[in-house]
Amino acid sequence: MGTLSGKRSKTTDRSAEDQIAGFVAKFDPANAKTIRACRAALRKRFPTAFELVYDNYNFLVFGFCASEQPSDCILSLAAAANGVGLSFYRGASLPDPHKRLQGSGSQNRFVRLPEASVLSEPPVAALIDAAVAQSAKPMPKSGRGKTIIRSISAKQRPRRAKSAR
């Protein structure tokens, strides 16, 4: 089941993928390629995760969660016109000896992802493992994760960087 702007509607995996392709197509080609590659790498890393998708005002977000509840989200892929990042909802409490985490909020931290290969760099992989370990609810042990379109904002920031004049 997917939700659009808070209303429940039945969607098939294919229609969700079609919608996601449309969301990603709003980005410039380089960002779109990075989004697709990072999402594929995270789907491979978390095959049983619930993938909650938000095409909101500021970002296109793919949350990788232990359940359909946003509060069970372990990490998110967030994309905007200025690039792609890996967001850790409880990142402020993660061990970060290599100082890869950015942000200064009381809870969230992120890592910039100029390309998908950053996800497999040892310091970033260690952050992902630590986020999984500190999660209150573990990922399902079996099954195939479900993609759920949670919301689509009618009004959004531009998804492509302004061209230099």
Which pTM was predicted? 0.86
Q: How many CB atoms lie within 10 A of CB 81?
A: 16
Q: Which residue is it, tokens 């039945």?
A: 10
Tokens of 92: 């402020």
Taking the CA of residue 158 as centre, how many other CA atoms within 13 Å lie in the half-sphere pointing to its CB?
6
- For the chain, the domains span 2-152
- Print pLDDT tens along the chain (165 aa): 343 433 333 445 668 899 999 999 999 999 999 999 999 999 999 999 999 999 988 899 999 999 999 999 999 999 999 999 999 999 999 999 999 999 998 999 999 999 999 999 999 999 999 999 999 999 988 988 899 998 887 776 778 777 643
